[in-house]
Amino acid sequence: MKYNGEYDDIINLPHHVSKKHPPMSKEIRAAQFAPFAALTGYDDQVKETARLTNERKELAEGLKLVINEKIKKIQAEINLKPEIEVTYFIPDLKKQGGKYVTVKGNVKKVDEYKQLIIFEDKREIPFQEIIEIVNIEKNNDFI
């Protein structure tokens, strides 16, 4: 770069280093020049909107009866702590829909009053969210 000489008096001076303030780290200095987020939370909202959820399946009455019978059989065998696999719906707390999850475990309790299957690891599954129950030990055959 060409200059016309008007800065000759300062051009070759050493870089000033403060005796009062420690030098700024490269990370902090770089942060000064980071883009300014004028719309705080906008990126989070875009991600939330893009997050996919599933619609809850409405079960036929016949399937509801089958699930209820399986729950009764699990309760009858509760002293054996049957190992089951349950597929159920977890409603999304932020938007409509949710997701289906399949879990395995040994049943500790069937709470008819609260309408819950409670596993030994303290997971609780509401009856009304269950779409499938499989007895692992008996290949889906409940005695």
**Ranked by mean pLDDT, which of 47-51, 53-57, 97-101 comes out on top?**
97-101
Can you tell me the distance from the alpha carbon of 128 to that of 92, in angstroms, rounded to the nearest whole number?
15
Give the chain's length: 143
pLDDT of 81 over the 80 cut? yes
Q: pLDDT digits over 95-134, tens only?
A: 888 899 999 999 999 999 999 999 999 999 999 999 999 9
Phi, psi of 37 (to 5 degrees): -90, 95
Report yes or no on whether pTM surpasses 0.75: no
DSSP3 helix / strand / coil % (the chain, rounded to 5): 30, 25, 45
CB neighbour burial string for 93-116, b if at least 16 within 10 angstroms, e if fewer: eeeeebeeeeeebebebbeeeeee
Contacts 24+ apart (CB under 8 A), 57-60: 57/89, 57/131, 59/131
Q: Which one-letter DSSP state was computed for residue 94?
A: S
Q: Which one-letter DSSP state was computed for residue 128?
A: G
Please, what are the domains in the chain?
Answer: 61-138 (2.30.30.100)
Q: What is the Rg, in whole angstroms, of the alpha carbon atoms belonging to the chain?
A: 32
Q: What is the mean pLDDT of residues 59-69?
A: 93
Q: What is the mean pLDDT of residues 24-29?
A: 87
Structure tokens at 25: 């780290």
Can you tell me the distance from the alpha carbon of 67 to that of 69, in angstroms, rounded to the nearest whole number?
5
**Ranked by mean pLDDT, which of 53-62, 69-78, 90-99 comes out on top?**
69-78
In this structure, the strands spanning 116-119 and 124-126 are antiparallel
